[in-house]
Amino acid sequence: TRRAVLAGSGVLALGGGAAAIFGAGGRAPVVAGTDTDNLVLKAGKTSAPLAGENAEVPVWGYNGSVPGPEIRIRQGQAFEAMLDNGLDEETTIHWHGVRVPNAMDGVPHLTQPPVEPRDSFRYAFTPQDAGTFWYHPHQRSFEQVGRGLYGPLIIEEADPPQVDRDLVWMLDDWRLNDQGQISGGFGSRHDAMMAGRIGNTITINGKPSAPLIARPNERIRLRLVNAANARIFGLDFGQLDPVVIALDGQPVEPHRLTDPLLLGPAMRADLIIDLNDPTEHSIRDVFYEGLEYDLSAVICKGEPIRGARLPEPAPLPSNPLPEPRLPSAKRHQILFGGGMMGMMSGDGGSMMSRNRSGSGMMEGRMGGSGMMSGGMMGWTVNGVSATGHVHDPIITVARGETLLLDMSNDTAWWHPIHLHGHSFRVLSRNGRPTRYREWQDTVLMAPQERVEIAFVADNPGDWMFHCHILEHQAAGMMATIRVN
Ligand code: C2O
Ligand code: CU
């Protein structure tokens, strides 16, 4: 099995033959480790079958594919990778969700100089946390990620739970034109002031979804990563009834879903899916009201893989995250403002069947920077619309202090809010404690929602704090938190 292979020397580059182990939807992983030859991630132009095998579309990707190589490494083992820039513009790699040293965080001008065309940069860090992470550029990410530059980074537990298959699904959403090519207009102000660049073509691992075929009594670990610029997924698994074991890579008390799984841009979830009796299932995306669709079929058939079902999944071993000390926490208010007001059209945006805030879409008050011409506003964090990656920190904190951010979404739109260099606990939503106090690095806020998060600021440096709807980020919805 793959686990046995990994348990071997620990440093193996698996070729195409490994695909068979992963089955439908699986990808051959790259396994890197301390004494492996440097893993090279070459960013460049390539093509991908976004709309089917016979419809290769020009994209940007790492090592000629979208997603880039599935990197699987071991928790606590030194990792390094060389970024080669084969693009015609500057780029970087950000290791989303990984608590890396600041200099390895991949934020141009803030943590490193941007990597020029034909230049390279060596990233090296030792991952502290096991889990499902991903990598992507942080330079003009609304276009670079939007054209396909991203890949999965799986940090394996020392003793992973027993599963028959460990699958990664990177979800993406593309805007293709009538010729089946990627539409231009990245970063348009229209997209930026509304829901971001929502597309018309959904892919799983850079391809249209294909049915996932499984056998009775099979157990699958499904790692979902939302790599879309702007699309929020609300996944309804029906009778598949998965158990959520991790969110944003961090273990969570295993639980079954009572509502659709909300996955904003950059967010991840690890699910355990036990297939029982032979039948067909469908995973549906129900986020945008009136635009529900089948994301993927899951077909259970054939001989049972084992005589009986496996027992309920156990919790994953916890990661070494410092527990926030709430009584002594430094509390800060964060107000997200801006965006288009008072013009709701049928293209999605904040339409959602389960609007937990319950407030009307039109009722948002003007926050921050005030009206700009044509009824447009920039996005703001505490009244400031930041451009570029270098700004005065909104918060400066001494290393080791607990920060409690009391965040209010004073806009008519959804925002997945991401903090670099740390994971935080989500303490409350609209004043109600969360059930699982989940660790996240990206928290999805509904229109008018208030969310409290807390974390120990133990990683020194200047850290980006921004909306992961990449058009919102580019239009000012970002800030910096400094840990001294
Ligand atoms: Cu996934 Cu600041 O990024
Ligand atoms: Cu946003």
Name the band, by pLDDT with cuts 50, 70 and 90, for residue 388: confident
Calculate how far, in angstroms, residue 463's C-alpha sits from the geometric centre of ligand 1.
Answer: 10
Q: Cβ < 6 Å from ligand 1: which residues?
A: 94, 96, 136, 138, 266, 418, 420, 464, 466, 468
Instruction: Please report, rounded to a whole number, the percentage of residues in the chain having pLDDT higher than 90.
Output: 81
Q: Is the pLDDT of residue 168 over 80?
A: yes
Show me where the domains of the chain are located.
2-160, 167-300, 326-483
Asked if domains 167-300 and 326-483 share a fold, the reply is yes
Give the closest residue (by CA) to ligand 1 atom 1: 96
User: In angstroms, what is the span from residue 226 Cα to ligand 2's centroid?
Assistant: 15
Give me the sign of the Cα torsion angle 16, 18, 21, 24.
negative
Closest atom, ligand 1, to C-alpha of 107: 2
Nearest CA to ligand 1 atom 3: 96
- Residue 444 CA to residue 189 CA, distance in Å, equals 22
- Label residue 31 by pLDDT band (50, 70, 90): low
- Minimum-distance ligand 1 atom for the alpha carbon of 136: 1
Banded model confidence at residue 7, pLDDT cuts 50, 70, 90: very low
Protein residues near ligand 2, an ion, with CB under 5 A: 415, 467, 469, 472
Return the minimum-mean-pLDDT range out of 231-235, 371-375, 393-397.
371-375
Which fold is adopted by the domain 2-160? Immunoglobulin-like (2.60.40)
Kindly tell me if the per-residue pLDDT of 345 is higher than 90.
no
State the pLDDT at residue 245: 98
- pLDDT for the residue numbered 38: 76
Give me the pLDDT at residue 84, please: 97
CA of 28 to the centre of ligand 1 (A): 25
The predicted structure's pLDDT at residue 29: 54
d(CA 279, CA 393): 54
> Distances from the Cα of 411 to the Cαs of 195, 337, 361, 430, in angstroms?
11, 5, 9, 15
Residue 229 has pLDDT above 80, yes or no: yes
Q: What is this structure's pTM? A: 0.88
Identify the CA nearest to 147 among candidates 187, 103, 189, 115: 187
CATH of domain 167-300: 2.60.40.420
Confidence of residue 13 (pLDDT cuts 50, 70, 90): very low
Tell me, in angstroms, the distance from the centre of ligand 2 to residue 123's CA.
Answer: 28
Enter the ipTM: 0.99
pLDDT in tens, 426-443: 999 999 999 999 999 999
pLDDT reported for residue 353? 32
Number of residues written out for the chain: 484
For 277-287, write each residue's pLDDT tens digit.
899 999 999 99
Distance between Cα 288 and ligand 1 center (Å): 24
Mean pLDDT over 225-229 rounds to 98
Report how far apart, in Å, the C-alpha atoms of 82 and of each of 29, 122, 424 are: 17, 4, 29
Query: With bands split at pLDDT 50, 70 and 90, how would you rate the model's confidence at 37?
Result: low
* 272 contacts: CB under 8 Å, gap ≥ 6: 161, 163, 219, 220, 221, 222, 242, 243, 245, 254, 313
Atom of ligand 1 nearest to the CA of 266: 1
* Rounded Cα gap, residues 354 and 30, in angstroms: 39
CATH superfamily of 326-483: Cupredoxins -  blue copper proteins (2.60.40.420)
Distance 165 CA to ligand 1 centre (A): 28
